[in-house]
Amino acid sequence: MKANLPLFVTMIGLLALLWPHALMGQNASEWKKTPTGLEYLHIPMSGNKKTIQRGDYVTFHVLLKNYRDSVLMNSYERGPIPDLKVEAPDNPADVSQIFPYLAEGDSVVVKVSVDSLAKYSHRAMPDFTPPGTSLIYHLKILKVKSALAFEEEKNAAEAAQKNQEKAQIEEYAQKKQWKPVVLPSGLQYVVLQPGTGPLPKAGEKVEVHYVGKLLNEKIFDTSREEVAKANGQYNPNRPYGPFSFTLGRQEVIAGWDEGLAQLPVGTKAVLLIPSALGYGARGAGRDIPPYSVLVFEVELVSVKPAQP
């Protein structure tokens, strides 16, 4: 099975894929072994003498083949493995043990014994990796970040995302002619109809009617049957009615726990929830993309005392 590489792969990346065939003809003395028995052939390309340290974050390409030269994984087709934290693996056959021998820009070919993998992982290996054979990893180190650099980059990206979503919420609220209450977490809410009951407390059981949608007004879920029918989302196999959960127990997204705690019983309101208090970078299914601001029209129907 041959790798089907996109045209934009660099010559270095292409050479990394072609090396296996050339390298197999090299003398055995050119291969080295780690203290745990991994065989490797290091191809230094960068001239960088600073090797990868434990705690660094590494972005790299990997081409993985079995003993028949069949491709089992090819990141050149789907994109590199991003920001993997380099830690001391528990498994002596883990290929990540090779990282401290490399520097940014380097390539390496690593033979990993299938027998060792089975032994240390305590799992049977699939049929295409029979005993007595090896898995062959071809790694190309693209980028190395220190833990500090990774954290700084992450914080900067989170701050930029937070500012972007804040602007999106403000624009949405202006279009609706709302003046929302803004909480330190970034959550905003607008009271449409004040309630006259008590404020719910953590540990109490609350019942809530809701309509959940994105900033483009697309509804992704609702507890109200009439809304589901009107928007072509009615599901006869699910019950409709107020949703019940225990407040403050992380049974729902953080924006719900925080937002509903601000509303007396009977209140109808809109919660404007930034992605960090919703589904974040992962999103939720097909309807909620990553980094989505969520708009929830809610009605706090009732509160029941905490169970002893």
Question: For 126-145, what is the mean pLDDT?
Answer: 94
Is 273 noted as a catalytic residue in this protein? no
Q: Is residue 178 part of a domain?
A: yes
Token pair for residue 264? 């007396």
Number of domains in the chain: 2
Q: How confident is the model at residue 138 (pLDDT cuts 50, 70, 90)?
A: very high
Q: Is residue 47 part of a domain?
A: yes
Q: How confident is the model at residue 44 (pLDDT cuts 50, 70, 90)?
A: confident
Name the active-site residue from 220, 243, 273, 288. 220
Q: Is residue 294 part of a domain?
A: yes
Is 169 noted as a catalytic residue in this protein? no
Q: Which residues form the domain of 235? A: 159-304
Question: For 101-119, what is the mean pLDDT?
Answer: 93
Per-residue model confidence (pLDDT) at position 26: 42
Is 67 noted as a catalytic residue in this protein? no
| Same domain, yes or no: 141 and 17 | yes
Name the active-site residue from 253, 257, 273, 288. 253
Residue 167: pLDDT over 90:
yes
Supply the mean pLDDT for the chain: 89
Question: For 34-49, what is the mean pLDDT?
Answer: 82
| Same domain, yes or no: 141 and 163 | no
Name the active-site residue from 210, 243, 273, 288. 210
Q: Is residue 200 part of a domain?
A: yes
| Same domain, yes or no: 185 and 123 | no
| Same domain, yes or no: 136 and 179 | no
Is 220 noted as a catalytic residue in this protein? yes
Per-residue model confidence (pLDDT) at position 36: 86
Q: How confident is the model at residue 125 (pLDDT cuts 50, 70, 90)?
A: confident
Distance CA 32, CA 230 (A): 68
Question: For 87-92, what is the mean pLDDT?
Answer: 87
Distance CA 290, CA 139 (A): 29
Q: Is residue 2 part of a domain?
A: no
Is 136 noted as a catalytic residue in this protein? no
Measured CA distances, 207 to 22, 163, 244, 270 (Å): 67, 32, 4, 16
Per-residue model confidence (pLDDT) at position 48: 64
Residue 17: pLDDT over 90:
no
| Same domain, yes or no: 99 and 205 | no
Is 279 noted as a catalytic residue in this protein? yes
| Same domain, yes or no: 105 and 208 | no
Q: Is residue 3 part of a domain?
A: no
The CATH number for 99's domain is 3.10.50.40
Per-residue model confidence (pLDDT) at position 99: 95
Residue 10: pLDDT over 50:
no
Per-residue model confidence (pLDDT) at position 4: 37
Residue 12: pLDDT over 70:
no
| Same domain, yes or no: 105 and 188 | no
Q: How confident is the model at residue 13 (pLDDT cuts 50, 70, 90)?
A: very low
Per-residue model confidence (pLDDT) at position 30: 83
| Same domain, yes or no: 142 and 245 | no
pTM of the predicted model, to two decimals?
0.73
Per-residue model confidence (pLDDT) at position 8: 28
Residue 230: pLDDT over 90:
yes
| Same domain, yes or no: 175 and 131 | no
- The DSSP code sequence of the chain is ------TT--HHHHHHHHHHHHHTTS-GGG-EE-TT--EEEEE--S-------TT-EEEEEEEEE-TT--EEEEHHHH-PEEEEE----SSTT-GGGGGGG--TT-EEEEEEEHHHHHHHHTSPPPTTS-TT-EEEEEEEEEEEE-HHHHHHHHHHHHHHHHHHHHHHHHHHHHHHT---EE-TTS-EEEEEE---SPPP-TT-EEEEEEEEEETT--EEEES-HHHHHHTT---TTS--S-EEEETTTTSS-HHHHHHHTTS-TT-EEEEEE-GGGTTGGG-BTTTB-TT--EEEEEEEEEEEPPP-
| Same domain, yes or no: 127 and 232 | no
Residue 51: pLDDT over 60:
yes
Q: How confident is the model at residue 46 (pLDDT cuts 50, 70, 90)?
A: low
Give the tens place of pLDDT for each residue, 272-293. 999 999 999 999 989 999 999 9
Measured CA distances, 176 to 1, 62, 82, 192, 274 (Å): 57, 49, 40, 12, 17
Which of 2-6, 79-83, 120-124, 183-187 comes out lowest in average pLDDT?
Answer: 2-6
Q: Which of 122, 148, 174 is the last residue of a domain?
A: 148
Name the active-site residue from 40, 60, 99, 279. 279
Q: Which of 129, 148, 167 is the last residue of a domain?
A: 148
| Same domain, yes or no: 239 and 271 | yes
Q: How confident is the model at residue 2 (pLDDT cuts 50, 70, 90)?
A: very low
Is 210 in contact with 243 (CB distance < 8 Å)? yes
Name the active-site residue from 83, 115, 221, 287. 221
Q: Is residue 1 part of a domain?
A: no
Per-residue model confidence (pLDDT) at position 120: 87
Residue 306: pLDDT over 90:
no
Token pair for residue 233? 């989302």
Q: Which of 148, 178, 209 is the last residue of a domain?
A: 148
Q: How confident is the model at residue 308 (pLDDT cuts 50, 70, 90)?
A: low
Question: For 6-34, what is the mean pLDDT?
Answer: 46
Q: Is residue 153 part of a domain?
A: no
| Same domain, yes or no: 197 and 264 | yes
Q: How confident is the model at residue 87 (pLDDT cuts 50, 70, 90)?
A: very high
Per-residue model confidence (pLDDT) at position 297: 98
The separation between CA 126 and the C-alpha centre of its own chain, rounded to angstroms, equals: 27
